[in-house]
Amino acid sequence: MSGTGEALDQPAALAADFWDYALALYGRDGVQAACLRLQDQAGFEVNLLLFCCFAAARGLPPLSPEILERLIAALTPWRQAIVAPLRRLRRATKTPSAPAAAGELGSASLPPPLLAEVHAALAAAERVSERAAQHLLCLAYPHPLAPAPGPAPEPTGDDRAGRAAANLTLYTAMAARPALAAAASADLAILAASAGQDSAVPPGQRLTRPLSSP
């Protein structure tokens, strides 16, 4: 395979692995709730939180300010133009009977089954947009041109948790939200601890909702 092909295949393989890892991590006790609080209350990006844990779990080099800046820059336009609008619309159609939602959408006269179908379609589109966002992160991640010589030691659970905590701490600093760091520390600790666990995807598990639910 040519060098160009390898350059294209490497991030694609990393993105597929990242998606599978996100399936497993997001399903662990407390992780979804922690991610949603960090997203909705502190403005963090769920896929970047998950990538901080993924990089640690897979033994990738620790994230640096330069790498994180590159990842944030790669993700932000897609999040603002595609993911966030889909999330807003999907959430608005989740409880259409609420007066505010019905007024915003003009949906008061729509049959509930039809609106539920719209909601399901939006949820599916948001889920695909999140997978695309993960692919953008993996395209932006600076991959080595060749694997390091010799077999790499398998990181222990403590190694994974410690590396995840370091990556998440750096992301907190890079996100310029120091005032929220203390409030977010418990949720960040949940993610780091979960990253220390075995990351295999349970048999038959599939992601059927967006990562940014509910």
> What is the average pLDDT value for the chain, to the nearest integer?
81
How many Cβ atoms from other residues are within 10 Å of residue 45's Cβ?
Answer: 23
Global confidence as pTM: 0.82
Predicted confidence at residue 141, as pLDDT, reads 92
Predicted confidence at residue 112, as pLDDT, reads 85
pLDDT beneath 70: ranges in the chain: 1-9, 95-108, 144-155, 176-182, 198-214
Amino acid identity for residue 129 in this structure? S
Predicted confidence at residue 134, as pLDDT, reads 96
CA–CA dist 12, 97 (Å, integer):
41
Phi-psi label, residue 176: left if phi above 0, alpha if psi -120 to 50, beta otherwise: left
Supply 207's token pair: 């992601």
Supply 122's token pair: 């939006």
Q: Could you tell me if 142 and 109 are in contact, meaning their C-beta atoms sit under 8 angstroms apart?
A: no
Predicted confidence at residue 51, as pLDDT, reads 96
Predicted confidence at residue 206, as pLDDT, reads 44
Predicted confidence at residue 23, as pLDDT, reads 87
The single residue listed with the structure tokens 């160009």 is 4
